[in-house]
Amino acid sequence: MRHVIIGAGIAGVTAAVTIKKYDKDAEVVLIGDERFFPYKRYLLTDFMNNSVKDENIFYTSEEFFAEHGIRFRKGERVKQISSQRKAIKFHHNEVLSYDKLLIATGGRPTLGPSLQPFQRYIQSYYTLQDVLLLKERLQTADVCIVSGEGLSTLDLIRGLRSLGKKVIYIVKEAEVNFPLIKTEFKEGIHEFLANKGVEIIVNDKIVAIEEKEAQFHVHTLNKLTIAADVVFAWEKYQPNLNCTRGCNIEKKEGILVDQRLRTSVEDIYAAGDCVEIYHPGIKDYWINFGWPNATQQGEVAGKNMLGMSVEYEIKETIPFNLFGKPLKARWWE
C-alpha cells in the first residue's frame, strides 16, 4: 500500500511516522517543497535572534527518515492531484500514484490586493529560508515596521526587540482583534508592547511603500510617512491550496474534513493548517492553527489512512509566550 503525503511540516511528518509505526511494510512517500529537512517552525523567531542554534531547530535528518523507513523527497513541489487516476503530478511533471493521499500543505501569511503591488519591498516571515535571509539583512538594519495581526506578529516583534531593533507596529484597530482567553497581562497587549519599547500606531494601515535613499518609505492611510530598513506586512493567514486546483475536493478557506480528517474525496485526507474542520461549539467550520493541532491531526490522519477509526479532538486554545508571559489564544468565538 503506497501512502503519499504532500507537505513536510509537522502534520505531514507526524502522519508519516505514525503510518510506519503501525505498519512497517507500508510504503510512505513524504514530499516537501522547502530545501531543508523539516524543522521546528515555532522556533524561527528564537533562531532569528540567535537564542536557538542551527542544530536545535531541526527535529529530523537524513538518518531520521532512513530509520523510520520513510522516503523523503526534499525540495520537490506537487502541482496537481488527480483523484480519478489516484495520482499526483510534480512540478517537473513526474506522476506518482497513491493508494492513500494526505494533503498537509500548511498555510502562510498573505498580502491583500492593496499591498500586492509592493510585495517586492516586503520581507516575508514564515520559512527557514525567509529567516536566513532576514538574519543577513538585520546585521545592518535598525528600524523595522511591522504591520499585521495574530500571534506570529507578536512573536516577530518580541524577536526584533530582543535584538535591540526599533520596532514600529502599525495596526488597524486600537486593541488586538484576535480572541484571547487567558493572559497574565494586567494591561492591554498594546500597552504591554509599548512598555517594551515598541512604537505603536493604531487605527491606521499601510497604503503604499517606496524605495528611497537605501530605505523604505511607508505611507499610511492617516497620511504618515515613516522610513524603515525592513518592512514586514501581511493581511491574512491562508491555507496553501494550489495543488488542489482542478481537483474536486470540497473547500471553503481551507480543505473541508470530517473528524476523521477525511476530505470529500475517497482515500484523500487532509491535516494541519490547511484544513477547516467542523466545530460543534460554533456549529461551523474553522481552521485550527498551531503546532499542537497540526501534530495531533497528523497522528489521527495517519491512523485513519491505515484503516483505523480515530477522531480528532478539537483543541480550543493555542499556548503562546510573549516576552516571558504566557497567553492563550482561542481561534473561534
Ligand X SMILES: Cc1cc2nc3c(=O)[nH]c(=O)nc-3n(C[C@H](O)[C@H](O)[C@H](O)COP(=O)(O)OP(=O)(O)OC[C@H]3O[C@@H](n4cnc5c(N)ncnc54)[C@H](O)[C@@H]3O)c2cc1C
Provide the binding-site residues for ligand X, judged by CB under 6 A.
Answer: 6-12, 31-34, 41-42, 44-45, 77-78, 104-106, 126, 152, 155, 240, 242-243, 272-273, 289-292, 294, 318, 320
Give the three-class secondary structure for 58: strand
Cβ–Cβ under 8 Å, residues 125 and 118: no
DSSP state of 262: B
Closer CB to ligand X, 12 or 302, in the complex = 12
For residue 43, the minimal CB distance to ligand X (Å) is 8
Closest to ligand X by CB, 226 vs 231, is: 231
Q: Which among 127, 108, 124 is positioned nearest to 36, based on CA atoms?
A: 127
CB of 155 to ligand X, least distance (A): 5
Which residue lies nearer to ligand X by CB, 13 or 143?
13
In eight-state DSSP terms, residue 122 is: B
Q: Any idea what DSSP says for residue 314? A: P
Strand locations in 19-60 (E):
27-32
Q: Which is nearer to ligand X, 87 or 227 (CB)?
A: 87
Pick the closer one to ligand X by CB: 47 or 121: 47
**Smallest distance from the beta carbon of 5 to ligand X, in angstroms?**
9
Find the shortest distance in angstroms from Cβ 118 to ligand X. 21
**Neighbour order of strands in the sheet with 317-322:** 180-183, 325-330, 317-322
Q: How far apart are CA 284 and CA 282, in angstroms?
A: 5
Residue-by-residue DSSP string for 144-169: EEEE--SHHHHHHHHHHHHTT-EEEE
Q: Which is nearer to ligand X, 34 or 204 (CB)?
A: 34
- Can you give the C-alpha Rg of the chain in angstroms? 21
- Minimum CB separation of residue 77 from ligand X in Å reads 4
Q: State in angstroms the smallest separation of the CB of 194 from ligand X.
A: 22
